[in-house]
Homo-oligomer: A and B are copies of this chain.
Amino acid sequence: KTLHDTCTAWGQGTRWGTASTETGMKRLALSPEDGEVRRWLVAEAKKLGCEVTIDAMGNIFCVLAGRNAGTPTMMGSHLDTVPTGGRYDGILGVQAGLEVLRSIKDAGYIPNYPVGLVDWTNEEGARFPFSMVSSGVWAGEVDLERAYALADVHDKTKTISSCLDDIGFKGETECSYKAMPFKAHFELHIEQGPILEAAKQKVGIVQGVQAYNWFTVTVSGRPQHTGTTPFAARADSMLASARFIAKAHEIASAHDGLVSTGIFGVEPGAVNVLPETTQFSIDMRHVEDDELALIEAETWACLDKIVAATPGLSYTKEPIIRSPAVKFNQTCIDCVTKAAETAVGADLCRPMTSGAGHDSCYTSLRCPTTMIFVPSKGGISHNPVEYTSPEDCAIGAQVLLGAVVDFDSR
C-alpha cells in the first residue's frame, strides 16, 4: 500500500489500466517529485527512530540502532525511475526495506547491531547518464567531481550538483564507504527478466551479476540518392549497420552471451537518401569476464570486416560503460537462501545471476553483498506495465527481513 500510495503521489507516469495503481512512473532522479518522496522517506524513517544521514551525493541512509554500536547491515535500492518506468524497479527495494524497519520496530525486536536502509541517487542513469553513479562514488570507483558535473540529458544547464542543491539533498557527509561503512548490503529487486515467471518460481537468490560493456557506434558512409546510386557505388551506412547487428547476435549466441541494440538513429533521415551516418548502442553481456572479452573482440573484428568491404565506409566506437562480472558474498547468499526456503520452500527458489547492473555491484566491492529477485510479469521492466504481484512483493520483503535478521545475528 505504501509503495502504491507514494507512487501515485509523487511521479505517477503513463496510465495503462483503470485502477488507481495501474500507472507507470516518471520520477527522474533529483526532480521535484524525487525531492518529495525523499522528504517523505526521511520523515517516515525519523518516525521509526532512525538516524538519517544524507551524503554529498544525496544518498539517504536511515539507520535503526541495535543492541550494540557498530557498522549497520543495510538494505538498499533506489526511488528514481526511467521516464516511462514502472512502479517496482528500485522502488520495491526501498519500500520493502522501510517495511522491514517498521516490522522490526513493531515486533519490538532489537538487532545486535544497527540495521538500515539506503536510497541511492540516480541509479537509473536516465536523467544524468551514468547509472549507479552514487553507489559508485560511495565505493570510491567514481570521482565526486565527475558525478557532480553530469548534466541532465535534456537540459545541459542542470547538473547533479545543481539539482542536489535545488531539492535540498546535498548532504554534509562525505559520500564514501569510509564515512558510511556497511556491514553488508542486501537489495531486493524485481528480476526484470522472464526466468522466475517461466520456471514458476518465486525467489531468485542472486549469486552475482554478469559483466557488461556498452558502446556508442557511429558508422559513416555517403548520403547518396536511393534511386540513382547503384549498389556498387554506395557507401551505405544503414546496410552495413544492419548486417553488423545481425552478425553480432550470432557471435553472442555462439558464446552464450548477449549483444543488443536499443538506440538507433540515422542522419539525415529521408526516404530517398541513404543515411550519411547511423549511430547506435551496443550492449554486450556475459557472466564471465573472459567470455565477454572474446565476444567483444569478435564483434569488432566483424564490424572491421563489414566496413572494410565497402570503400567510403568508416566507423568509430565510444565506450560508455565497462562493468566487470560481480560475485556476491557467500554468507549473504546463505542468509537469503535460508530466509527464502523458509518463506516459500526450496522448490520455489532459484540461484540466479543478475543480468542487469545494480547498486549492489558497487557495494559488493566494499562490503558483503547479495540480492533477492522476485518475478517480473512477462519479464517486462522499464515500462509502465512492469508488474510484480502484491503477494510476490510481500514474499520479497519477507525474505529481505529474514536475511537481514539472520546476517545481523551471525
Contact = CB atoms under 8 A, between A and B. Distances in A.
B264 A227 contact: no
A368 to B, nearest CB: 23
Given A225-B379, A356-B228, A272 B283 contact: yes
B262 A228 contact: no
A203 B273 CA distance: 23
A230 interface: yes
Contacts of A285: 226-227
Given A82-B270, A271-B214, A238 B262 contact: yes
Interface stretch (A27-35, A142-150, A243-251, A342-350): A243-251
Contacts of A319: none
A258 B226 contact: yes
B270 A225 contact: no
A229 B193 contact: yes
Interface string A224-260: 1111111101001011011111100100110000101
Nearest to A282: B271
A212 interface: yes
Interface stretch (A96-104, A115-123, A288-296, A380-388): A380-388
A320 interface: yes
A233 B271 contact: no
- Count copies of this chain in the complex: 2
Contacts of A260: 226, 236, 238, 272, 274
Interface in A91-130: 126
Interface string A173-212: 0000000000000000001111100100000000000101
A222 interface: yes
A337 interface: no
**Size class of the A contact interface (CB-based, 8 Å):** 35 or more
A266 interface: yes
A269 interface: yes
Contact of A233 (B194, B264, B268, B383): B194
Given A210-B227, A270-B382, A355-B228, A275 B262 contact: yes
A281 interface: yes
A263 interface: yes
A197 to B, nearest CB: 10
A273 B125 CA distance: 13
A249 B225 CA distance: 16
Interface in A312-352: 320
B382 A223 contact: yes
Contacts of A356: 225, 227-228, 272
A354 B378 CA distance: 51
Given A193-B225, A239-B246, A243-B246, 8 more contacts: A224-B381, A227-B283, A227-B355, A239-B245, A242-B244, A260-B272, A264-B269, A264-B275
